[in-house]
Amino acid sequence: MEGNFVITNTAKQRMEQGKVALGAGCGLGVPFPAEMLASMGFDWVLIDNQHGTWDRYSSMLAFMAVRAGGSIPVARALVNRYDEIGRLLDEGALGIIVPMVDTVEQAEAAAFASRFPPAGGRSNGAGGASVYGPDYIDSFNDQAFVAIQLESKEAIENADDIMAVDGIDGCWLGPADLANSIGFARDSAEHDEAVMRMIEACQKHGKAPGIAAGSVEQVEKWAAAGCTFISAGSDKGYIALGGMAEFEALKHLRD
């Protein structure tokens, strides 16, 4: 982008080119792991306000840390609410993920809260986002990546209409909540079929399909199926997996 907007959303650019934008989640509530994940080369880092332990101040510091690490800061909102979405964008997120979107009306509300007029109704009051420069307001609608989460049977049934909503750039499917809703495990054929319905709806309307994958195998599987907005894991998960692997290798010393 030309002008004084000092950060280009490179993750969004990759998805617009049909390439995978690989992300990682951060929920521990402190900025340092966010900067570490960003510096590892992930295209985007998610500051998870739904299932993480962030408060308003720490999430703003985390967005700064992600930028310092060379990645794109993305926030998951606690709920689909105008003030919640606006304050995360004000604090510096360049992407927003809105959970539990089941209907067209809910998707329209998420888009309205995320975009400045005339595309939406976001209020002009950037705080941490002011670092992006004087052209922030004019450029934000192009730079922002607005995703919703389809996580229920109802959402999948409405996927085609939901993904047609203007102002929504993509979907980041929640596989665990979807499994609970449809009554089939994540490794079932029925679950895979539901995910494919999301992917097809996104592709039909020129939106980026995505998923919280959680393992190398799942990332590879869903990238091959057409997903471009994919998270590979999280700070909590990486600590757990690394710790368990090392303990397994060393536990003989306790015999």
Residue with tokens 């999280």: 234
Q: What CA–CA distance (Å, rounded) separates 12 from 151?
A: 22
Q: Catalytic pick from 51, 191, 205, 252?
A: 51
Report the residue count for the chain: 255
What is the distance between the alpha carbons of residues 34 and 68, in angstroms, rounded to a whole number?
A: 10
Is 51 a catalytic site residue? yes
Name the residues annotated as catalytic. 51
